[in-house]
Amino acid sequence: MSNSLEGKIAVVTGASRGIGRAIALTLASRGAAVIINYNGSKDRAEEVKQEIEATGGKASIYQCNVSEYEKCETFIQDIIKEYGRIDILVNNAGITRDGLLMKMSEADFDQVVDTNLKGAFNTIRFASRQMLKQRSGRVINMSSVVGVTGNAGQANYAASKAGVIGLTKAAARELASRGITVNAIAPGFIETDMTEVLPEKVKESSVAQIPLGKFGKPEQVAAVVAFLASEDAEYITGQVLHVDGGMVM
């Protein structure tokens, strides 16, 4: 058994900032070559690449809007052409467009579902074909506690994150016989740009719901991704791991 990722090829979507950035750095520190996907933040993605290379790791950056099906096909095929395989796929890219149901626009619903849920489908759709050939692979999808509990003002986001759990379990069942595991992580409140914008009052009331009494850090989510991607987790599939300071139990 081992938690080393030496020689593995890992794709991390939405790795230019926040949790995805921490995942890219952590997987690289365990020896994986990391493909840092971003949508708009090219400079931030470049910084992550440089940070990995400065510590002797391997990384490349790749722009792709994960909500676009055909672009995802090219994205995944280009990686396979360059690296020959994909061992780890982390579907982390995600957005929020919060608002009460009565006021939520169709565009806000569609954009969130297209990025958070369809984006994960798009990459799994193409990467799993390669993983099936390899007879091995690890897929880790980013859900959220909100996908389990729901949240007022986040109908679009909660639906997308609940969908990610369904997608994870269906894919886990379909791919298990070929040595591919598929799991989801459900973070609670983690300190990133996404939660930075919350009003102070919301932050205070959120902390009050967390038994461990504080927001989590991106590195704490990244450590769980690295575990699920490692040999140590070879008998775990179809699971949703909460990294939430005890918020949901």
Catalytic residues: 157
Q: Does 94 bind ligand NAP (CB under 6 A)?
A: yes
In the list 10, 12, 14, 108, the residue contacting ligand NAP (rule: CB under 6 A) is 14
Q: Does 16 bind ligand NAP (CB under 6 A)?
A: yes
As a whole number of angstroms, the distance between CA 22 and CA 156 comes to 26
* Cβ proximity to ligand NAP, 38 vs 121, nearer residue: 38
- Which of these segments, 72-80, 91-99, 199-207, 223-231, binds ligand NAP (CB under 6 A)? 91-99
Q: Does 194 bind ligand NAP (CB under 6 A)?
A: yes
Q: Does 90 bind ligand NAP (CB under 6 A)?
A: no
Site for ligand NAP in 109-168 (CB under 6 A): 115-116, 142, 144
| 124 touches 163 (CB < 8 A) | no
Q: Does 65 bind ligand NAP (CB under 6 A)?
A: yes
* Cβ proximity to ligand NAP, 67 vs 156, nearer residue: 67
- Which of these segments, 14-22, 97-105, 121-129, 172-180, binds ligand NAP (CB under 6 A)? 14-22
- Which of these segments, 4-12, 79-87, 92-100, 131-139, binds ligand NAP (CB under 6 A)? 92-100
* Cβ proximity to ligand NAP, 94 vs 163, nearer residue: 94
Smallest distance, ligand NAP to C-beta of residue 222, A: 10
3-state secondary structure the chain: CCCCCCCCEEEECCCCCHHHHHHHHHHHHCCCEEEEEECCCHHHHHHHHHHHHHCCCEEEEEECCCCCHHHHHHHHHHHHHHHCCCCEEEECCCCCCCECHHHCCHHHHHHHHHHHHHHHHHHHHHHHHHHHHHCCEEEEEECCCHHHHCCCCEHHHHHHHHHHHHHHHHHHHHHHHHCEEEEEEEECCECCHHHHCCCHHHHHHHHHCCCCCCCECHHHHHHHHHHHHCHHHCCCCCCEEEECCCCCC
**Contacts to ligand NAP by CB under 6 A:** 13-14, 16-20, 37-41, 65-67, 92-95, 115-116, 142, 144, 187, 189-190, 192-195
